[in-house]
Amino acid sequence: MSTVLIDGIRSWLASRGLDPDEPGLAETPERVARAWDELTAGYDDDPETYLACTFDVERADGMIAVTDVGFTSICEHHLMPFTGTATIAYLPAAEAPVVGLSKLPRLLDTLARRLQVQERLTRQVTDALDTYLKTDGSACVVRAEHGCMTQRGVRKPGAMMVTTSLTGRFLTDDAIRAEFHALGG
């Protein structure tokens, strides 16, 4: 746990006229440090870890997708959370191994638990799939509500930002793209 962060939180509390040693706040700096360690744990994790564990299937000639995968990330501009869901899909190349479905949410969590912008997060998911798996294309749609837009500034709760990243046949094949969008992507 970072003593720099703990000291910084104590200083910030004091700057707001609060006593960081009062009973309700005495453990707050440590709690905040633990929370930030958890929220940014993705820096200690490698996406390849999850995508390297593959298995052969007799025939995987269609789309593999997981929908409505929940996540929370932190906006790098305001250090406020953004929370939403992602639909993640890929097309395994001919006779290529596949990953277990739990690996796609784990990939998203690893990338989301970093300071992020939604556009980059969406693209990092497809980049990782294309880099570490043999795919004929990958796709990701992320829908998220941003604290920096709902709790400050314009204050528009419920407003959702939607970003997409499509590669390979998801870009070139209208039927595959339509199938993905029908899944909620």
Q: Which of the residues are catalytic? A: 75-78, 118, 146, 148
CB–CB of 164/122 below 8 Å? yes
Residue type, 42: G
CB–CB of 140/86 below 8 Å? yes
Spatial separation of the C-alpha atoms in residues 36 and 1, rounded to whole Å: 9
Non-local CB neighbours of 143 within 8 Å, separated by 6+ positions = 84, 85, 86, 160, 161, 162
Per-residue CA distances from 46 to 19, 35, 41, 114, 132 (Å): 40, 20, 10, 12, 11
Spatial separation of the C-alpha atoms in residues 112 and 101, rounded to whole Å: 18
